[in-house]
């Protein structure tokens, strides 16, 4: 998908804007539209890279009944995502989506690279109370994240790595759930 930079630049003069780096379900403009109440693909600058972090599923969303993505500082890590330039009027809606008021995520200011340019003072969100182990995404979240990554032009290798990571977490969860169910059944049979 190609996103003309001129659209974003033209809008910049009409209203106050802020940069937002999405690395999870918000990479998908269709899903982001659901929360912000308007089309968001027009605000996409393009794929971007965040150095010094890595992805992980260190949070659980009760609303989505799924493990959800977070970024963790890691000197050798790189996170790919989607860079948006959003109007300030959508800031509160984005905070609401990320659960800032509930202390699920907090804003973090970062620098990202996109289209041979470094963008400073970019907003992203990080989980406040991280789980100690990763929790598998459900199929819906898996598909939304992957759809956003592919649609917005993240590198093919990164998309494959993301797919494999999510798939492996689901496989591990599936095996663990099966073992727990067998254990419960055996306990019931004894009692």
Q: What is the pLDDT of residues 102-157, one digit of tens each?
A: 999 999 999 999 999 999 999 999 999 999 999 999 999 999 999 999 999 999 99
The answer to whether domain 5-190 has CATH 3.90.1300.10 is no
Q: Cβ distance 48 to 21 under 8 Å?
A: yes
Q: Cβ distance 48 to 158 under 8 Å?
A: no
| pLDDT tens readout for residues 10-52 | 555 589 999 999 999 999 999 999 999 999 999 999 999 999 9
Confidence of residue 190 (pLDDT cuts 50, 70, 90): low
| pLDDT tens readout for residues 87-97 | 999 999 999 99
């Amino acid at each position: 998908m190609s996103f003309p930079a001129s659209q974003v630049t033209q809008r910049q003069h009409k209203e106050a804007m802020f940069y937002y780096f999405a690395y999870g379900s918000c990479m998908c403009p269709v899903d982001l539209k659901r929360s912000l109440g308007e089309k968001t693909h027009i605000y996409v600058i393009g794929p971007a890279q965040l150095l010094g972090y890595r992805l992980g599923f260190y949070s659980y969303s009760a609303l989505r009944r799924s493990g959800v993505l977070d970024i963790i500082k890691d000197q050798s890590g790189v996170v790919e995502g989607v860079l948006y330039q959003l109007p300030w009027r959508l800031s509160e809606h984005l905070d609401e989506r990320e659960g800032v008021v509930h202390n699920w995520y907090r804003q973090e200011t970062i620098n990202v690279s996109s289209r041979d340019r470094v963008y400073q003072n970019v907003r992203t969100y990080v989980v406040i109370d991280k789980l100690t182990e990763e929790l598998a995404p459900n199929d819906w979240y898996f598909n939304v994240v992957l759809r956003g990554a592919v649609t917005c032009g993240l590198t093919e290798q990164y998309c494959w790595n993301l797919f494999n990571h999510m798939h492996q977490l689901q496989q591990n969860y599936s095996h663990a759930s099966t073992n727990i169910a067998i254990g419960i059944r055996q306990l019931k049979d004894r009692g």
